[in-house]
Amino acid sequence: MKRMLKLLGILAGLVLGTGCDHTTVGYLDVRNAGYRPDTVYFKAVLNPEDPEEARRIQFEIPWQTTPIEGVQGTLPISYQIRSIVCKQGQEEAIRQFRMIRKGVIELPWDHTVPRGDYIFNLQISNEGRSLAKDSLITIIIN
């Protein structure tokens, strides 16, 4: 009987010990990082006659992307815009685009970023790790 209790104790210890998922501090995996969709469109000029655009003007609703997906690691994870690749208007883009919670890229509703394609390269970090991810999303200002 004692042998049976010892065996059950060992089995319980193995099950409990291997069942826990301990993520080491500094673990960061960005291999599957991305946005869905990976191309979004923001307007350069809003039309106050259009009801949806008039609402954006009235409530000063900023343009936003979806949150980034596919990032795994030890929390908290921070996101920064490392660089923006574009043909023109880079200074305006760097000054006005900003990163907010969970990798959402935001642009004010009344921005002055010129029309064009803006490709974003990000820096994703947590305690102990910092990884760069290029060409994650393209924002087209039209």
Interval 14-56: pLDDT, tens? 665 555 556 557 799 999 999 999 999 999 999 999 999 999 9
What pLDDT band is residue 4 in, cutting at 50, 70 and 90? low
Q: Say if residue 128's pLDDT is above 70.
A: yes
The more confident residue out of 102 and 13 is: 102
Q: What distance in Å separates the CA atoms of residue 81 and residue 135, rounded to the nearest whole number?
A: 11
Q: Kindly report the CA angle at 95 between 90 and 99, in degrees rounded to 5?
A: 105
Res 5: pLDDT: 62
Res 25: pLDDT: 72
Summarize pLDDT for 102-112 with one digit per residue, the tens.
999 999 999 99
What pLDDT band is residue 1 in, cutting at 50, 70 and 90? low
Side-chain half-sphere exposure of 25, counting CA atoms within 13 A: 2
